[in-house]
Each structure stands twice: as structure tokens, then as C-alpha cells.
Structure 1
Amino acid sequence: MENPLQPKKSSRKPNQLYRYAGLAFQMMASLGLAVFAGYKLDQRTGWRIPVFMIIFSLLALAVILWQIIKDTRRND
């Protein structure tokens, strides 16, 4: 019989929490950097439509999605 005063062990390891938290931070940072670089490049060109910001954002999202798929398949 289990002791009710003893805390239950979680099924996930703390390492997984840190890994996914790090991955989330990396995603935010890379997307933010891509948007910032595209914004600055659009300012430099003077175009009305933010072409570089859209392109860099979509490229960053594709790389992030690929990285998530690669990381989750490797450790399952």
C-alpha cells in the first residue's frame, strides 16, 4: 500500500521539462531575430509591403518546425 504522505513521482523526468523549455526559448529567440532582421531589411529597401519580414518569418517557422520534429523523434 502506498504511503499518502509520500509525494508521488511524476512520470516525466525533469530533464524533459528543461529540454522543452529550452526549445521553446530557442524558438522565440530565433523567430524574434528573423522578424527583426526582416523588419530592418524592409526599412532599408523602403518597400511598402514587408516582403523580407514575411519571408524571414516563414523560413524561421519552417526551421523551428523541422527542429521540433527532429528533437521529439530522436528522444521518443
Structure 2
Amino acid sequence: MEDPSYRKKPPPPAKKRNRNLLLRYAGLAFQMMATLGLAVFIGYKLDQWIGWSFPILMIIFSLLALTLLLWQIIKDTRRNE
């Protein structure tokens, strides 16, 4: 006879699942905005401090942040839950 404690839990209701997904993706959107804004700000300030007329560090930092954010989004959305 099978022990009932080993049974899988039933999946949560669809409404609760949708709410959890909404919160997760809203958190990802906020994380994207904050990270990209911080990268641009730091790059801008470093370019000002160094005195370069072309904002190379701002471009580099923003592209690096976008790359990391896309990697994070792909990793989070491919997770099986």
C-alpha cells in the first residue's frame, strides 16, 4: 500500500498561479528599470569625472546591463515550476 504522505500536492488554482506569475514578472520589470538606470547613471558620472566628451562608459555600462538583464530574464522564464 502506498503511503499518502508521498503523494504529490495538487497544483494551485489558476487564479493564484496567474497572480504569482504577475508578481514575478512585475518584479523582473522593476529590476530591469532599476539596473539599467543605475548602469546609465554610473556610466554618465564616470564619463563626467574622467572628462571625456563622448559617453563611452555610459554606452558600455548600459550594454553590459542589458546583456545581464536579458540573461536573467531568459534564465527566469525557462525555469519549470
Is the TM value for this pair above 0.5? yes
Normalising by structure 1, what TM-score?
Answer: 0.82
User: Larger Rg: 1 or 2?
Assistant: 2
Unaligned 5+ segments in structure 2 are 1-13
Give 2:33's aligned residue: 28
Q: Is 1:73 aligned to 2:73, yes or no?
A: no
Give 1:38's aligned residue: 43
Over the aligned positions, Cα root-mean-square deviation in angstroms equals 1.7
Q: Runs of 4+ in structure 1 displaced over 3 angstroms? A: none
Normalising by structure 2, what TM-score?
Answer: 0.78
Aligned residues: 68
Equivalent residues in 2 for 1:7-18 (5 A)? 13-18=18-23
Report deviation, 1:75.
Answer: 3.3
| Aligned-pair identity (%) | 73
